[in-house]
Amino acid sequence: MIFKGSWPALVTPFRNGKIDDKAFVALVERQIAAGTHALVPCGTTGESATLSHEEHRHVVELCVKTAAGRVPVIAGAGSNSTDEAVSLLQHAKAIGAHAALVVNPYYNRPTQDGVYAHYKTLNDAVQLPMFLYNVPVRTGSDMPPELIGRLSRLPNVIGIKDASADLSRIARHTALCGKDFIQISGEDPTAVGFNAQGGVGCISVTANVAPQQCAQMQNACLQGDYGLARKINDTLARLHRALFLEASPSPAKYALSLLGLCTDDVRLPLVPMSSEEHKKEIAAAMKEAGVL
């Protein structure tokens, strides 16, 4: 299985407080038709923190079923509870996900030895490829390169989604983890620069809204055509910013609602976008990107 390119961190569409299966299936089909390289359900953008365990499993299974092997599915399976993460990982493997995305444990504030023990327990419990997920702005703690190097020696840890926004880490990770360690950006605005330093893709919020453009940009990077990649990214730069004007994924869901693809409903404590100025900026950014 090849893990490269544009991977949307899929939103979980809601209608009247429930998961909108029909809208989710349509979103997956739209992504595949647009040339998306892989799908990531139940990550941060999928509001995994406020999905019940049953809902979480349902969304991952629906994604795998809809994709039907056409593109890889990397299932969100992270938790600050190791036992819960093991359970989500077991389910992801059982229903045919190709890999899992596992976030650095949050809230508990474990030591680096604790973080290592968390991932080692997952590695030993379930034989499924894993991507580490370092997002200090959300977890409140960082996974330094030295820890990534140590974790990369676990057999099932094959790569990282790095949302630290520190592009200097890519070379350090390569030195510590080896050239086969798969490095995926977790930040849209720096994704082209990330790839130029040795990354091979992006788990993207923007790809929810502009899947074709994001896929084309990643294809250009993979082909070494950074002139084209920058040109595409220039048209997306305003949208990258606009989709974080308020807490994600509220802006992404508002943008998708403008396209008639889902409602802008989010789960509390998130609320739909309320700023008319922000809404206008998202619409303008979508027009600049050629999606509205």
Mean pLDDT of the chain: 97
pLDDT of residue 116: 98
Structural domains of the chain in order of their starting residue, each with its CATH number = 5-224 (3.20.20.70)
Please calculate the CA angle 99-136-253 and round it to the nearest 5 degrees.
70
Catalytic residue set: 133, 161
For residue 63, the one-letter residue type is: C
pLDDT one-digit tens code per residue, 264-292: 999 999 999 999 999 999 999 999 999 99
For residue 14, the one-letter residue type is: F
User: CB atoms < 10 A from the CB of 140, how many?
Assistant: 11
SS3 category, 165: coil
**Could you tell me the pLDDT band of residue 96, with boundaries at 50, 70 and 90?**
very high
For residues 195 and 223, the answer to whether their CB atoms sit within 8 Å is: no
Say yes or no to pLDDT of 1 above 90: no
pLDDT one-digit tens code per residue, 116-146: 999 999 999 999 999 999 999 898 889 999 9
SS3 category, 25: helix
pLDDT one-digit tens code per residue, 24-41: 999 999 999 999 999 999
CA-to-CA distance for 162 and 13, rounded, in angstroms?
Answer: 25
Q: Residues of 33-45 as b/e, b for ≥16 C-beta within 10 angstroms?
A: ebbbbbbbbbbbb
